[in-house]
Amino acid sequence: MSCISRINPSQKVLILSLSFISRDPRVMRQVRLLERRVQLSVAGYGAPPDANVKFIRIEPTSTSPLAKVLQEARLMGARSEEFYWRRPDIQGGLQALNGQRYDLIIVNDIVALPLGLRVARESPVLVDAHEYSPQESDDKLVWRLTYGRHYHFLCQHYLSQAAAMTTVCLGIAEEYKRNYGVTATVIENAPSRQNLGPSNVEAHRIRMIHHGGALRSRRLELMIDLMEQLDPRFSLDFMLVGDDKQYLRALRERASKDPRIRFLPPVPMPDICRATNCYDIGLYLLPPANLNNRFALPNKLFEFIQARLAVAIGPSPEMARVVQEYGVGVVAKSFDLSDIAMALNCLTEQDLVRYKRASDAAAEKLCFEKAAERLLMIIDRLLPSSTPNSMFA
């Protein structure tokens, strides 16, 4: 695809994310998209990304249990505006970015939006909201009374000031439209297109994989319990990352009586699809504990497809839409383990071959290269006029 674009290699763009940049797949895809098209700066936590960028480090706010309690107490007793600008990482970001001029700022998540708008001055700001911040953890009462209210305030007061907005799926875009009157373009969490093909299927062996963050809210233990109801053909490997060592230990202990369940070392983010190509099924069960879980359309779904796997999920509406539209796997009728087990135990060798071939066909469409075309069009529209050049080259 090509177009006449206003982008110019001399234009300055900032990607701002209050996350550990090199471990944030969505942000890193933005970096890869723009690093050779503009003079790109990236501001966020952690080590510099391995990319052609100017990196501006922001020190993260402490996440120790005591620090979290103190932050929640401050938030309950303070106005959101005052709390926001007193955050150590926000103050650090202001100091680090003070005096810089950019032609466009791309901010990731609502929490970075006020900071990005202040740094931008008159330049346009594109906010990638990722998920639905005001109900991120609304299954927890304390969170609803603190950060839930805080993010609602930020959305109310700042979203309308952004020049454009993106998010991960249609359901979340509709929530932002309904509650805040803003329109978001959907940019799916798809990885780059992978040069892979479906691996062979064995008649009496079905290898399942689940990879991703070990977060308690995802209830990964359900997939361990599911194995008790699956026939002997099935095995399950986990590749998990995360800092909750107590939860990881609990998962290992829960699975210790079933030799069909293994915990493998995680692989680097760019290697996930190739490392999992040898499996048959990508498994993900995510009960709708909160709005973001209900509307989840995560990286791993698209990584399963790029790895040319069959997909097995519960009835999560956004994931189910993709699985059913492209015919890449099974959707259980409920999150009851008996329903999920029924959907899996009925699978035949021929079913798996068909689903993996469907993933192979879908991989050409469900990749970042396709989503990037939409994102580049937005960026092109927001950048000031300059010498015509092909941004899609």
- Domain extents for the chain? 12-190+367-382, 206-362
d(CA 31, CA 247): 32
- H or E element at residue 119: helix 113-120
d(CA 214, CA 223): 12
d(CA 251, CA 393): 46
d(CA 261, CA 258): 6
Mean pLDDT of 300-314: 97
Contacts of residue 66, defined as CB under 8 A and 6 or more positions apart, other chains included, come to none
Q: Is residue 63 pLDDT above 80, yes or no?
A: no
Mean pLDDT of 168-174: 94
Residue 202 φ/ψ, nearest 5 degrees? -100, 140
Which neighbouring-strand residues pair with 330? 312
12-190+367-382 and 206-362: identical CATH topology: yes
pLDDT digits (tens, 9 = 90+) for 192-203: 999 999 999 998
In this prediction the pTM is 0.87
Residue type, 236: L
Q: Is residue 79 pLDDT above 90, yes or no?
A: no
Superfamily, domain 12-190+367-382: Glycogen Phosphorylase B; (3.40.50.2000)
Q: Is residue 2 pLDDT above 50, yes or no?
A: no
Q: Is residue 6 pLDDT above 70, yes or no?
A: no
Residue-level pLDDT at 15: 98
Domain boundaries 206-362, CATH class: alpha beta
**Per-chain mean pLDDT for the chain:** 92
- H or E element at residue 77: helix 65-77
pLDDT-based confidence at 385, cuts 50/70/90? confident
